Amino acid sequence: MTQPPTVLAGEGTAPAAAPAGKGPAAPRAKAAKPLMERIPTPVLLTAALALLVAVWQGAISLGWVNEYVLPTPWDTATALWDVTADLFTGGPVFDNFLISAQETLYGLLIAAVAGIVLGVLIAETVIGRRVLQPLMIALYAAPKVALAPLFVAWFGFDMAPKVVMAAVIAFFPVMVDTAAGLAGIDEDEDKLFKSLRANAWQRFVKLKLMNALPFVFAGLKSASVLAVIGAIVAEFLGGGEGLGVMVKTASVGFALDRVFAFVILLSVMAFLVYLAVDLIERKVIFWRQTGFLPTES
C-alpha cells in the first residue's frame, strides 16, 4: 500500500510570523567603547602627568638620580612659578619671551611662503624638479645648526639671524608636503577635469590645490614647532636676547630647576603656535575635521 509523501517540517510553509505586538527587529545596540576611549582626555592627561611626576620624584628619593643633576619636581615647580610670575608682570622674562615669539612668528611666516612657493615650483615645473629639488635636498641634508655662525656673520647679532635660522629649519616640511600634495592627485579626477575641458589654471586651483591643502597644513604644523626650535637654537648660539639666552645663562649658573622651567615655558609656547595653525586649518579646510582640536558632534 502506497504511503502518502511525508511533508518535512517547515517545508512549503510560509516563514514563521513575528510575535504579535513586535515590529521589525530593533537595531543592535552600539558596541560599548573601550575604557580608554570613554575616559575624558583631560583626565588622561592629568593621570599621565601625575605618573610622570611620581616616577620623577621616586627616582630622586630612591637615589637613582642625584638631585644636583635632576632637580626635584617641587624645585622645578617653584622655579616655574617664578618664571611665570615674571612673565605676567612684565619682567625680564616677558621682554625675552616677546623677542623669541617674534622671531618664531616671523620665521614661520617666511617658511610658509617660501615652502609653498618652492613646493609649487617643484611639483609643477621641470626646472623645479630637475634643478630646485636636488638643491633643496642637499640643503636639507646639511646640519642647520652649523649654519648659525654664518647667519650671525651675515646678518649681525640682532633679530635677523634668529629669524633666518627659524625659517631655514621650518620651511622644509612645508615645501615637501606641498609638493607631495600637488603631485598626489587622483588620476580619475584628473581625467574628469580634462574631459570637462578645464584649463591648466582651473585644474591647478580646483583640483591640485584643493587636494594639497591638507598636506600643506600638515607641513605647517611641523614647521610651527621647528620654528620655535630654530629661534631658540639661534639665540643659544648667537647670543643677544630671547629665552634661548636665558636658558644658556641658567645652564651656565647650573640652575637646572630654572632651565627646566624655561623648557616647560618654551614647550607651552610651541604648543600654542601649533594650536593656532590647527585652528586656521579647521577654518580653511572646514570640510575635513581632522585637526587636533576636538570636533563638535
Write the pLDDT tens digit of every residue in 48-87: 999 999 999 999 999 888 888 889 999 999 999 999 999 9
Which CATH code, of 1.10.3720.10, 3.30.540.10, 2.70.98.50, 3.40.50.2000, is assigned to 73-284? 1.10.3720.10
* pLDDT of 126 above 50: yes
No. of helices (H) and no. of strands (E), the chain: 13, 0
Per-residue pLDDT at 263? 92
Per-residue pLDDT at 11? 40
Given a contact cutoff of 8 angstroms between Cβ atoms, the answer to whether 231 and 107 are in contact is yes
- Round to whole Å and give the CA distance between 19 and 11: 20
Quick one: cell of 8?
Answer: 518535512
Backbone φ and ψ of 118, nearest 5°: -65, -35
* pLDDT of 148 above 50: yes
Given a contact cutoff of 8 angstroms between Cβ atoms, the answer to whether 175 and 115 are in contact is yes
Residue from 276, 272, 231, 270 nearest 96 by CA:
231
Domain-wise residue ranges, the chain: 38-70, 73-284
Residue at grid coordinates 617674534: 102
* pLDDT of 280 above 60: yes
- How many CB atoms are located within 10 Å of the residue 140 CB? 14
SS3 213: helix
